Amino acid sequence: MSTRPHTSNKPVKPSSKGFTTEAKKHLGQHFLHERGIIDKIVLAVNPQPGDRLVEIGPGQGAITFPLLDRHGELTVIEFDRDLIFPLTEAARAHGTLEVIHRDVLTVDFSAIAGEGQIRLVGNLPYNLSSPILFHALDHAAAIRDMVFMLQKEVVDRMAAGPGSKVYGRLGVMLQAYCHVTPLFDVPPGAFRPPPKVDSAVVRLVPRAPETIGIVDPGKFSAVVRDAFGQRRKTLRNALSNLCDAAAIEAAGVRPEARAEQIEVADFVRLANHLANAT
C-alpha cells in the first residue's frame, strides 16, 4: 500500500530534528517540536522487537524519526502529498519507512495487520480526531494498542465516567471496546504553530473480544447515540424510537434516568436485551 514519493527539485538534508514545512490550516496541521514531549511519547510507545508500528499523520517527522531510531521500521499514513518526499528522504538516515499516501479514514488497518496486530501512534488532526477514533474501533481486533495526542478536551471526554459534565457518546463507545488511560498534558507551545487549545496524550488498549460482551454492535451504537442525542431527556423519552420503558426496565436500567447517569455496562446490558428481544 505504499506510494511512490512525490518528486521535488529541492534537496532534503536528513536530520534527527526532521524538516521544516509550512503548516496547512485547512488540514488542521500543528507540528510537534518540543523535544521533551517527543521523548515522553516515544517512552509511552516503548516499541519492542517484532512490533508493527503504524503512525497516523507523521507531519514533519517529530515522532517518526525517534521511533525509527528506536525500532528501525515504521509505516506511516500521510494525506499531505507535499510531505511524502521530505519524509522519505529524511528517513533514510534513521531506518526503513513505508509511506501510505491515503486519507486515514480509507485505510484498512486489518489488512495492514494481516495475521498479527498493529500498534497505532500519532498526533491526530483535531478536526478529524473522533472519526479516526471510531474508524480504529472498527478494526479493534487488529490493533494491540494506540497512543494518540489529541485536544485535551477530547481526551477528557474519552475518559469521563457517569456524572461528569463531559461524559457522553464518545466516552461510552470507546470505553466499551477499550481501556482508556490519559497519560499527560501537552501545552500549545510544544507545537508550531501553537494551537489555541491544550493537548493531551492518551493510551487506548482494545479489550479482548470475549470480554466486550456486546451482542449486536449496531444496536449498541444506536442505543448510545439516541440516549445522548438529547441529553436532558430521560431514557424513556430519548430511546422512544428504539424501545419502551418496560424494555428498559426489563434490562435492569431505570427508564427515568438520563444518559449521563448510566454506566457503560448498563448501556451494554440494555443494548443486548433489545438485540435478544428482536
- Rounded to 10 degrees, the C-alpha dihedral 51/158/151/16 comes to -10
Show the cell assigned to 184.
499527560
Consult the annotation and say whether 120 binds a ligand. Answer: no
Show the cell assigned to 273.
436485551
User: What would the DSSP string read from start to end of 100-169?
Assistant: E-S-GGG--HHHHHTTS-EEEEEE--GGGHHHHHHHHHTTGGGEEEEEEEEEHHHHHHHH--TT-TT-SH
**Cell 521533551 identifies what position?**
36
Consult the annotation and say whether 74 binds a ligand. Answer: no
Consult the annotation and say whether 82 binds a ligand. Answer: no
Consult the annotation and say whether 204 binds a ligand. Answer: no
Consecutive H or E run containing 74 = strand 73-77
Q: Residue 204: which of 150, 168, 265 has the closest Cα?
A: 150
Consult the annotation and say whether 252 binds a ligand. Answer: no
Consult the annotation and say whether 123 binds a ligand. Answer: yes
Q: Binding-site residues, please?
A: 30, 32, 57, 78, 103, 123
Indicate the annotated binding residues for S-adenosyl-L-methionine.
Answer: 30, 32, 57, 78, 103, 123
